[in-house]
């Protein structure tokens, strides 16, 4: 029996996709590169998922795991004809118990809080939280607006159940011992194992939550205000920065919120007890005003302002049909310098760059538009992105704060890690996956290109 027929027997003919329809799974949120899946399989439950993976690896075939396809680093793109196993149908909530919940990997991030007890919430909330899946969030250790206070996904994962490259299932939902064996799978981008169930931590909703909005005549001053807020001892629950270019995009899109036409805007959220939030609000206002900022009255539009921030990425469609998104991170103290450098690159390269990012943890998100019908336009956007990432690393930053390495940042990763450090990571991959069956072509530079492709050459710096 062929593999295709075997998989059809497991999941049903409807859920095995080949031919032209499979091209829908050839890209994810990183649109610069289009892959070519040999087949797409969509199991409907955990048992089917395990059987599917075992059938595939038994034949030595390579597999890509996919959730909602929102990866911004190409993490779920089949580079060289791999089989895509989509886990979006594993979207059940199994149990809420105390401040914990057990869910399938395909459930959308937003649904965890939406279905939680009214006094609890799930903290990690990437901009794509309305569609991105928990399995993908775990695989990339996603952050989001509230990462500055509540931490990235890693801080909210209590346990996982994974299927390994040899087909074995490792149940680490409730693990004992001093070591935390499940942490190695968080942020591994599906290269070591695929999450088929997760146990998550929920936080109590705070007694009070207020927002402060401010405008600035320069992004540099806004960056200085961010530094000052933390110097004064305040840790906001959210602290976001938007520049003039992204405000322009938002106000030209369906996310329009009557944002002020200014060089930069800070959105600050504070939560906690009523006395604490009241005191912190005054401290934040002082830090903003000390750095030439102006506090503005949202006039009852607080929710609209935050929705505009959440819609910043898709609003770029009003500027360009495609764009490259970075997520290099710098120490907060370096934010003013980093923003000045990005503005300088934009001028020198004559490239439009929009900035909207998690200022509270220094996680930059420069958005660089390109024309998808002009390959040189794309290649130029990738080169500009590499320049920005290099500057971030020289400032003590890292290549990725939450989007992952994927296929996008392989060469940039090598600027940050030493050869010895990368060798250690490769040994870990070799131990878990000696035949390189799970999510190949990701994270590490391959010995050769899978095919002659200008985009891969630029990203991986092949001559």
Q: What is the CATH number of the domain that holds 116?
A: 3.30.465.10
pLDDT at 462: 66
Within-domain flag for 387 = no
Maximum separation of any 2 CA atoms in the chain, in Å: 72
- The gap from C-alpha 18 to its chain's centroid, in whole angstroms, comes to 28
Residue 215 lies in a domain: yes
314-331: buried (b, 16+ CB within 10 Å) or exposed (e) per residue? ebbeebbebbbbbbbbbb
Quote the pLDDT of residue 463.
Answer: 54
Of 204, 221, 245, the last residue of a domain is 204
CA distance 108 to 337: 36
109: its two tokens: 């991030």
Would you state the pLDDT for residue 367? 97
Q: Are 159 and 253 part of one and the same domain?
A: no
pLDDT at 286: 98
Check whether residue 271 and residue 191 sit in a common domain: no
CATH number, domain at 32?
Answer: 3.30.43.10
Range of the domain at 138: 93-204
Task: Report the pLDDT value the prediction gives residue 335, as an integer from 0 to 100.
Answer: 96
Instruction: For the chain, list residues with pLDDT below 50.
Output: none
Q: Which residues of 177-189 are buried (b: 16+ CB within 10 A; e: fewer)?
A: eeeeebeebbbbb
Residues 189 and 214 in one domain: no
- Is the residue at 350 inside a domain? no
What's the CA gap between 393 and 412, in Å, rounded?
9
**138, 168: one domain:** yes
Q: Do 82 and 146 reside in the same domain of the chain?
A: no
Whether 189 is in a domain gets the answer yes
Residues making up the chain, counted from first to last: 463
94 and 186 in contact (C-beta within 8 Å)? Answer: no
Do 217 and 260 reside in the same domain of the chain? yes
113 and 66 in a common domain: no
Closest CA to 145 of 240, 219, 212, 271: 240
98 plus 167 within the same structural domain: yes
Are 214 and 198 contained in the same domain? no
Q: Is residue 349 part of a domain?
A: no
CB-hemisphere CA count at 13 Å for 109? 26
User: 3-state SS string over the chain?
Assistant: CCHHHHHHHHHCHHHEECHHHHHHHCCCCCCCCCCCCCEEECCCCHHHHHHHHHHHHHCCCCEEEECCCCCCCCCCCCCCCCEEEECCCCCCEEEEECCEEEECCCCEHHHHHHCCCCCEECCCECCCCCCCEHHHHHHHCCCECCHHHHCCHHHHEEEEEEECCCCCEEEECCCCCCCCHHHHHCCCCCCCCEEEEEEEECEECCCEEEEEEEEECCHHHHHHHHHHHHHCCCCCCEEEEEEHHHHHHHHCCCCCCCCCCCCEEEEEEEEECHHHHHHHHHHHHHHHHCCCCEEECCCCCHHHHHHHHHCHHHHHHHCCCEEEECCCECCHHHHHHHHHHHHHHHHHHCCCCEEEEEHHHCECCEEEEECCCCHHHHHHHHHHHHHHHHHHHHCCCECCCCCCCCCCCHHHHHHHCCHHHHHHHHHHHHHHCCCCCECCCCCCCCCCCCCCCHHHHHHHCCC
Q: Which of 297, 317, 337 is the last residue of a domain?
A: 317
pLDDT reported for residue 366: 97
Identify whether 372 is part of a domain.
Answer: no
C-beta of residue 352 within 8 angstroms of C-beta of residue 319? yes
227 lies in the same domain as 186:
no
Same domain, 113 and 176: yes
Question: Do 419 and 435 reside in the same domain of the chain?
Answer: yes
Asked if residue 30 is part of any domain, the answer here is yes
pLDDT computed for residue 180 by the predictor: 85
Domain assignment present for 245: yes
Last residue of a domain, one of 34, 58, 86: 86
Tell me what pLDDT residue 175 has.
Answer: 84
Q: Structural domain tally of the chain?
A: 4
């Amino acid at each position: 029996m062929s593999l295709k027929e075997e998989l059809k027997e497991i999941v049903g003919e409807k859920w095995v996709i080949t031919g032209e329809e499979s091209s829908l799974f050839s890209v994810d949120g990183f649109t610069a590169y289009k892959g070519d899946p040999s087949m797409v399989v969509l199991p409907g439950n955990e048992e089917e998922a395990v059987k599917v993976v075992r059938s595939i690896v038994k034949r030595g075939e390579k597999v890509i795991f996919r959730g909602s396809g929102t990866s911004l680093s190409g993490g779920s793109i089949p580079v060289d004809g791999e089989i895509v196993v989509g886990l979006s149908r594993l979207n059940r909530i199994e149990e809420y118990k105390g401040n914990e919940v057990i869910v399938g990997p395909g459930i959308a991030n937003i649904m965890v809080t939406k279905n939680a007890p009214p006094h609890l919430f799930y903290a990690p909330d990437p901009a794509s939280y309305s569609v991105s899946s928990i399995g993908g969030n775990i695989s990339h250790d996603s952050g989001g607006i509230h990462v500055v206070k509540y931490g990235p996904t890693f801080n909210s994962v209590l346990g996982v159940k994974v299927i390994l490259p040899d087909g074995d299932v490792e149940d680490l939902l409730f693990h004992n011992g001093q070591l935390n064996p499940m942490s190695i799978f968080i942020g591994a981008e599906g290269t070591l194992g695929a999450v088929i169930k997760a146990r998550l931590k929920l936080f109590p909703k705070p007694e009070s939550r207020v927002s402060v909005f401010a405008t600035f005549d320069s992004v540099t001053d806004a960056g200085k205000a961010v530094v000052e807020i933390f110097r004064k001892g305040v840790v906001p629950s959210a602290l976001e920065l938007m520049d003039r270019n992204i405000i322009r995009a938002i106000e030209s899109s369906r996310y329009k919120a009557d944002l002020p036409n200014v060089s930069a805007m800070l959105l600050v959220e504070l939560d906690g007890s009523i006395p604490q939030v009241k005191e912190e609000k005054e401290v934040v206002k002082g830090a903003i005003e000390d750095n030439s900022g102006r506090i503005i009255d949202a006039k009852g539009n607080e929710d609209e302002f935050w929705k505009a921030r959440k819609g910043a990425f898709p609003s770029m469609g009003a500027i360009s049909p495609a764009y490259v998104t970075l997520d290099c991170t710098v120490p907060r103290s370096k934010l003013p310098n980093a923003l000045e450098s990005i503005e300088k690159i934009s001028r020198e390269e004559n490239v439009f760059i929009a900035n909207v990012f998690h200022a509270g943890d220094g996680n930059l998100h420069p958005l660089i538009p390109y024309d998808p019908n002009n390959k040189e336009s794309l290649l130029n956007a990738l080169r500009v992105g590499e320049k920005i990432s290099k500057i971030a690393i020289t400032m003590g930053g890292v290549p990725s704060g939450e989007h992952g390495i994927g296929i996008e940042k392989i060469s940039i990763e090598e600027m940050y890690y030493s050869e010895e450090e990368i060798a250690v990571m490769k040994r870990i991959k070799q131990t878990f996956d000696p035949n390189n069956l799970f999510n190949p072509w990701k994270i590490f530079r391959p010995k050769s290109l899978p095919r002659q492709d200008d985009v891969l050459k630029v990203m991986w710096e092949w001559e």
